[in-house]
Amino acid sequence: MSGRGDGVDSQLASETNKMKIQPSASRSALLLECSYAFSVEIEPEPGGEPSRYGVAFHSLLAFLLLKKGSRDGYDRVVDAAVKANRLPPSSARDLAGHARGSYQVLYAWLKGKNPWGRDFLKGQKMEVEKSFALRMLGPPVGSGLPIVRKISPPSLEEHCYEDLLPGEIAGTADLILGDLVLDHKTGQAETFEQPAEKPQLKTLALIPLYRGGMKREEWKPIAGVLHAPRLGLPEVYADEVEDLPTHEAALSRSLARIGDGSLRPGPWCSRCPAREVCPAQHGDLLKRSGEIVKSSMGIKEFLDGDDHSRSIMGPSDIGKIHLLFHQLEALLKVGKKEIRQWVEDHPEEVAARPDGKELALVSKRYERLSKSSIIEALGKLKGEKELARLRKLGAISEDERVELHAVPGAGR
């Protein structure tokens, strides 16, 4: 028996919701360490309540900044933000006051209560929640200014920039006032006493530089963070960015590596969204396979539906079981890849299963249709028109379902 089958199965298969991680300012720290995650497709994880709360907070702060703190229409904006981000009543009650109190602290800081004693609002054009694409590939670093352009804001659920082009890195600035670039944070997982050291802020600081055409040696932007944790007092941290050319060069090199297959394991792997499909993590997963399988034996009662066992289980027990299932799924994915590789490497040998079946590589033909493939084939304008036509015909339908996901908890 050969290792390759001859069967052909032609069918129309809808593309999964997998997508590539896009280079963005918020992913700058990961990109600078390892570019592999930006060349593979993963299933995006939806944000939890803390993430949705943060999005709602940003929208309210943007409203207050543009309306100079006016209360006119504020309540309607709060209601819309709560609805759009599906926030529970307990979160909604805190949101309005949290955003307004944070704005008051930020406004006082901008008017002069800052280390420079400057009125950042005087004579400066205010830009709020604007998204940009930076292109650093092309001319060698230092030989000319890269390109910057405005783009559409990212999607709410996947945080995906639809019009970002290959070779570009996206960034959404919460507030730009001349040489000041500010980001708003509501989480508590990190501190921001040294914002100019944050790769995300350094990337955002490139936006006004590229737009203004200033000389790098004359450009020392101020990077800042309005840190407004839900369980703490809001505070603004800001500092001058001293080593922006160094950051720019490193970012350019990392962007150029995307797709070349290179990867660099390190401490950042634990937070990488692509760790489950990364070859560098497969060895560790397979090394722990015995431990994972052994620990799975302890949940037999749960799977059997034993009422007594389930009655004494608490939330932490359910969380441990869910994590175990997640690890088993990852182990199965890696195991299947390793088995396929073995079959490919040993075409003359037969791998027989205990049930009598034998492993073979069977060729199948699939037709795939997706939104991205239509836009790629027709271009953005014609592609959107074609998608609108298909929606009108009923060929594309939208639905909503409730899924169970592990999302970042409070403070992340």
Residue 66 has a pLDDT of: 95
pLDDT, position 148:
87
Burial of 141-165, coded b for 16+ CB within 10 Å and e otherwise, reads eeeeebebeebeebeeeebbbbebe
The answer on pLDDT for 118 being more than 70 is yes
- Encode pLDDT of 208-220 as tens digits: 888 876 666 667 8
Residue 328 has pLDDT above 50, yes or no: yes
Phi-psi region of 157 (alpha: psi -120 to 50; beta: other; left: phi over 0): alpha
Residue 334 φ then ψ, to 5°: -65, -40
Q: Which of 36-40, 197-201, 301-305, 309-313 has the highest mean pLDDT?
A: 197-201
Of the candidate ranges 31-35, 172-176, 314-318, the one whose mean pLDDT is the lowest: 314-318
Instruction: Lowest mean pLDDT of 60-69, 248-257, 269-278, 302-311, name the range.
Output: 302-311
Q: Which of 29-33, 157-161, 240-244 shows the lowest mean pLDDT across its residues?
A: 157-161
Any idea which residue has 């055409």 for tokens? 213
Q: Give me the amino acid identity at 164.
A: L
Q: How far, in Å, CA of 283 to CA of 288, rounded?
A: 9
**How far apart, in Å, are the Cα atoms of 285 and each of 278, 281, 367?**
11, 6, 33
Higher pLDDT residue, 389 or 238? 238
* Domain locations in the chain as residue ranges: 25-33+43-257, 274-348
CATH topology classification for 25-33+43-257: Lambda Exonuclease; Chain A (3.90.320)
pLDDT of residue 104 exceeding 80: yes
Pairing of strands 19-20, 41-42: antiparallel
User: In this predicted structure, what is the pLDDT of residue 130?
Assistant: 94
Q: Are strands 180-185 and 222-227 parallel, antiparallel or unpaired?
A: parallel
Answer for the pair 234, 101: CB distance below 8 angstroms, yes or no. yes
Residue 132: the pLDDT is 94
Q: Tell me what the pLDDT averaged over the chain comes to.
A: 80
Q: How many CA atoms lie within 13 A of 241 on its CB side?
A: 33
Give the CA distances from residue 30 to residues 34, 45, 51, in Å, rounded to whole numbers and listed in that order. 6, 17, 19
What single string gives the DSSP state of each residue in 6-32?
A: -----EEEE--S-EEPPPBGGGHHHHH
Alpha carbon 184 to its chain's center: 16
| C-beta separation of 8 from 367 below 8 A | no
Mapped onto helix, strand or coil, the DSSP state of residue 259 is coil
Give 13's pLDDT tier (boundaries 50, 70, 90): very low
What does the alpha-carbon distance between residue 95 and residue 88 come to, in Å, rounded to a whole number? 11
169, 23 Cβ separation under 8 angstroms: yes
pLDDT of residue 296: 58
CA–CA separation, 134 vs 197, rounded Å?
20
Looking up tokens 């497969």 gives: 282
Q: What is the mean pLDDT of residues 114-139?
A: 87
Model confidence at 287, in pLDDT bands (50, 70, 90)?
low
Residues 6+ apart with CB under 8 A from 188: 229, 230, 231, 232, 410, 411, 412
When pLDDT is averaged across residues 221-225 and rounded to a whole number, the result is 93
How far lies 281's CA from each of 1, 74, 190, 263, 334, in Å?
34, 48, 25, 11, 10
